Structure 1
Amino acid sequence: MTLFETLVLAIIEGLTEFLPVSSTGHMIIATSLLGMESSAFVKLFTVAIQLGTILSVVVLYFKRFFRSINFYYKLLVAFIPAAIFGLVFNDLIDDMLESPMTVAISLVIGGVVLLFVDKWFNNAEINDSDEISYATALKIGLYQCLAMIPGTSRSGASIVGGMSQKLSRKAAAEFSFFLAVPTMFGATVKKLIDFYKGGDTLTSHEVGMLFVGNVVGFIVAIIAIRSFIGFLTKNGFQLFGWYRIIVGAVIIILLLSGQSLSMV
């Protein structure tokens, strides 16, 4: 992996992880466009640089993480469904990660949902994510499991899940950010274990690329989170919905016409 490829993927990860546009889907598309080989390290890299993005959440919401022990219990309850489904369907998820068509279809379907979600769930009663119940946390966690389909968007699924439980857009987005910490940390640890179990080891160059990727992802994610909360509160989801539909439709057309996404 080159430095250029590392920077491109890290910027994409930082920009898209907390937006309802699917960071995984964009990473799959990016690696295809860059003509990158789907090696064990590339697969590890696209997951491991999430550590930088989740650190941005901890930094931005530092005080929130020390407000109450119940906060951690609720995150644990919301995280459990993803942990179970991830372990049970690990091989199926890995297979879907190889499919740009799956990503494209998921982008379009998710985009259509985002066009109407503000109308469907406009009866918000909870304006602070700390006020949610354990039952609500579990339901949001179940919604998050939909994101195991590449192109769905972890943040999008969990935010929609929160809004369906009468959370405001801001409260749903913030809880989605918090839920990303255990979810993405767990996914990274699992991918590292699989990497070493497969007999692979990290070279000094690869360690360097992981470091650069996490630093860049951290910086970009901080900017993205701050911008997203303000935009979402004022404007809702429609712009993200149209973006997903357009990107997904273009990819579907290219694939159906026999075109390759690879630029090289």
Structure 2
Amino acid sequence: MSDPFPALLLGIIEGLTEFLPVSSTGHLLIAQHWLGARSDFFNIVIQAGAILAITLVFRQRLWGLATNLGDRDNRDYVFKLMAAFLVTALVGLPVRLAGWELPETVAPVAWALVLGGIWMLVAEYFAERRGGDGAYVTWTVAIAVGLAQVVAGVFPGTSRSATTIFVAMLLGLSRRPAAAEFAFLVGIPTMFAASGFAFLELWLDEGLGGEAWGDVGLAFAAATATGFVVVRWLMDYIKRHRFTGFAIYRIVLGIALLVWMPAGS
């Protein structure tokens, strides 16, 4: 019987890092360097666990959006969520099919961590200088968030949450909780669709034989449970704190990867 601890730990790492602006790709890259590489199917499934977590966290918000379309403001918000998702799908699918994506190896991920951390510091600085208490999602924000998701997909290590949240803040959605909520809600259909597409590709190309299904199930459950706790904590944390700590952590981690890990890992 295989040791379940590595699978459990990988699921926890996915749940911890998928929605924090620190890059789950970078952390899984490090973890799998020490714990052993896993199949694409395994990585897809544990990401689906994190998606389930955020769906559970926002279940009341999602239900309210779905059942109150008669309200103009509510309907406007739903349409902007749909627009952001469609922009991601219409731009991202051709990009994916063309294979325009950097490899998930140490060097590009590490540089994305460093540059992304600097981007976070600069973006939050300018967003705060704009002043105001912006909580209204404009069409510009919706479209930009959709495009930001494509950028995050092309550059592993960028962090989908960091890219989308800070684009929204720079363009006027200056309240951190409002920006994070919109980014996370757009991420639900986006990541479900991306995971479903990747799963289909994998199934058609390689089949699903040889998987350690116990490990897969354990990691999925761990990612769901951990992701649920992390998102709830983050939404409360950013009401009172800036993202500076996450940005500094990214920069330090990226530099450490460049210095200490083999370039081809």
After TM superposition, the score normalised by the length of structure 2 is: 0.85
Cα displacement string for residues 59-94 of structure 1 (whole angstroms, at most 9, x for unaligned residues): 222121122343443222111232234322326768
Alpha-carbon distance change, 158 to 93 in structure 1, aligned in 2, over 3 angstroms: farther
Identity of matched residues, %: 32
The structure-2 alpha-carbon separation of the partners of 1:82 and 1:200, relative to structure 1 and needing over 3 Å to count, comes to same
Q: Please, which moves more after superposition, 140-149 or 205-214?
A: 205-214
Instruction: Measure, in 1, the Cα distance between the counterparts of 2:198 and 2:246.
Output: 29
**SS class of match (1:121):** helix
Amino acid at match of 1:76: M
Written as runs of structure 1 = structure 2, the 5 A alignment for 1:107-118 is 107-118=113-124
The correspondence for 1:180, drawn from 179, 187, 194, is: 187
Runs of 4+ in 1 over 6 A off after TM superposition: none
Match of 1:60 among 43, 57, 60: 57
* Map of 2:206 onto structure 1: 199
Does residue 97 in structure 1 map to residue 103 in structure 2? yes
Aligned partners of 2:44 and 2:199 also within 8 Å: no
| Deviation larger for 48-57 or 162-171 | 48-57
Contact 2:49–2:223 (CA<8 Å) still a contact in 1?
yes
* One of 101, 125, 134 as aligned partner of 1:126: 134
| Cα 1:238–1:54 shift into 2, 3 Å | same
SS, match of residue 212 in structure 2: helix
Q: Please state if 1:22 is matched with 2:32.
A: no
2:34 corresponds to 1:33: yes
CA offsets 1:136-194 (integer angstroms, 9 cap, x no match): 21121112222110110000001001101221111011111111211110111111111
2:114/2:255 contact within 8 Å kept: yes
- Partners of 1:213 and 1:9 lie apart in 2 by 7
Q: In structure 2, how many angstroms separate the alpha carbons of the residues matched to 1:13 and 1:93?
A: 24
Instruction: Please give the alpha-carbon distance, in whole angstroms, between the structure 2 residues aligned to 1:105 and 1:83.
Output: 26
Pair 1:80 & 2:86 matched = yes
How far, CA to CA, are the matches of 2:113 and 2:12 in structure 1?
20
In structure 1, distance between residues paired with 2:234 and 2:82: 25
1:78-113 Cα offsets, whole Å, 9 max, x none, are 112322343223267686233210000000001112
Q: SS of the counterpart of 1:132?
A: coil
TM-superposed deviation, 1:29 = 2.3
The 3 A distance-change label for structure 1 pair 97 and 46 is farther
Q: Which moved more, 1:223-232 or 1:166-175?
A: 223-232
- Whole-angstrom distance in 2 between the partners of 1:156 and 1:221: 16
Corresponding residue number in structure 1 for 2:240: 234
Q: What letter is aligned with 1:9?
A: L
- SS at structure 2 position matched to 1:150: coil
| More deviation, 169-178/194-203 | 194-203
Unaligned runs of 5+ in 1: none
Q: TM-score normalized by structure 1?
A: 0.86
Q: Are the equivalent residues in 1 in contact too, given 2:23–2:159 (CA < 8 A)?
A: yes
Q: Kindly indicate whether the alpha-carbon contact (under 8 Å) linking 1:9 and 1:27 is maintained by their aligned counterparts in 2.
A: yes
